[in-house]
Amino acid sequence: MRSYSLLRQLIRGTLLQEGVYDPGVLKAVFMAGGPGSGKSFTAKILFGADPTSVSESMTASGLKIINSDPAFEKFLRDVGVDPSDLAKIAQEDPELAYQLGLVDERGVPVESPRGKAKEIKKKLMSTFTRPEARLGVILDGTGDDFDKIVDKKEDLEEMGYDTYMVFVNTTLDIAQERNANRSRKMDPNKVEEIWSDVQSNLGTFQQLFGANNIVIVDNTVYGPIPENIAKAVDTFLRRPIRNPIGREWIEAELSTRGGGTAKERRRLMGQR
């Protein structure tokens, strides 16, 4: 029950707008970066969300942030586990680590904090991308599993979405330092493993998304988003939908509203 209550709270918090006129419609952005890269903070700054909010999904760009971490931390606290103890638990108590959903190799128990957080993420995704809405989404993940990104990208493009990636980069030393200082700590060995996997995927991400649909943010030193990065992302958000499936969906949606005005069609499809 608590997980569904949290799901309703997250959906209500987006002030959900429906359908073809929603800003950011049919745009999907993948965030990638290792633990401690600051990718979630970067996403909020880049797309116009409140950087101090833990659970807020809405952004000024219209895209909705999908991230299981806030739910995961809430469910950990519900069972009396401090997120700052996760690294110690992973190293010293393998059975508890499994029960919490920390051990991917053994699978994630459905009723574990991690399992319930994954279910929240899945339901948010299906809510925001359902056929009558096709709202813009930001998938805030690490990017260490290349095949998973490929599958999700294909799924979204089959729904009609244009896709993009923001790759947030740091050195391993900085990633370890930030991990040690944040509230939810990971096993340093796991940090290095994920960081290495993410780095090894960068070249294939560039091939997968194409040079015009990926930007790399060097976040080794925290600072303002570089102007060229912000401009590139804004160009993606503003450009008309290119995916043929998405264009057909827009045509069908506009037809139910009298065909749409010239301004609306220009924004959504580039038609004059």
Give the span between the Cα atoms of 14 and 19, in whole angstroms: 14
- HSE, side-chain direction, 13 A CA sphere, residue 76: 23
Whether 62 and 185 map to the same domain: the answer is yes
Q: Would 99 be classed as within a structural domain?
A: no
- Domain match, 151 and 31 both: yes
pTM score of the predicted model: 0.90
> What's the domain range around 272?
244-272
| Residue 17 three-state SS | coil
> Do 21 and 131 have their domain in common?
yes
Beta strands in 156-250 (DSSP E): 162-169, 214-218
Using pLDDT thresholds of 50, 70 and 90, give the confidence band for residue 111.
very high
Residues 6 or more apart in contact with residue 231 via CB below 8 angstroms = none
Based on the domain organization, do 272 and 143 belong to the same domain? no
What residues contact residue 90 under an 8 Å CB cut-off, 6+ apart? 97, 102, 186, 187, 190
Q: Are 58 and 15 in contact (CB under 8 A)?
A: yes
pLDDT tens sequence across 145-189: 999 999 999 999 999 999 999 999 999 999 999 999 888 888 899
Our count of domains for the chain comes to 2
| The predicted structure's pLDDT at residue 13 | 44
- Do 201 and 260 fall within a single domain? no
Q: Is pLDDT at 77 greater than 50 in this prediction?
A: yes
**DSSP single-letter state for residue 126:** H
Which backbone phi and psi does 86 adopt, to 5 degrees? Answer: -65, -40
Task: Give the pLDDT confidence of 216-247 residue by residue, as tens digits.
Answer: 999 998 888 999 999 999 999 999 999 999 99
Q: Write out the two tokens for 59.
A: 């952004």
Q: Is residue 115 part of a domain?
A: no
Judge whether 148 lies within some domain.
yes
Residue 222 in domain: yes
Predicted local confidence at residue 259, as pLDDT: 77
Percentage of residues of the chain with pLDDT beyond 90: 65
Pick left, alpha or beta for residue 40 (phi over 0 → left; psi -120 to 50 → alpha; otherwise beta).
alpha
**Does residue 109 belong to any structural domain of this protein?**
no
Identify whether 32 is part of a domain.
Answer: yes
Angle between helices 113-128 and 2-12 (to 10 degrees): 40
pLDDT for 5 beyond 60: no
Whether residues 251 and 178 share a domain: the answer is: no
* 105-114, 143-152, 201-210, 254-263: the lowest-pLDDT one: 254-263
If asked whether residues 42 and 143 sit together in one domain, one would say yes
- Give the least confident one: 47-56, 58-67, 137-146, 209-218: 47-56
Please, which pLDDT band fits residue 54 given cuts at 50, 70 and 90?
Answer: low
Domain membership of residue 208 (yes or no) is: yes
Residue 185 confidence (pLDDT): 87
Residues 266 and 191 in one domain: no
**60 and 176 co-located in one domain:** yes
Q: Which residues pair with 139 in a beta bridge?
A: 30, 66
**Does residue 143 sit in the same domain as residue 170?**
yes
Q: Is residue 34 part of a domain?
A: yes
Cα–Cα distance between 209 and 79 in angstroms, integer?
Answer: 40
Query: Which residue type occupies 200?
Result: S
Residues 133 and 187 in one domain: yes
pLDDT on residue 196: 95
CATH number at residue 179: 3.40.50.300
User: Does the pLDDT at position 84 exceed 50?
Assistant: yes
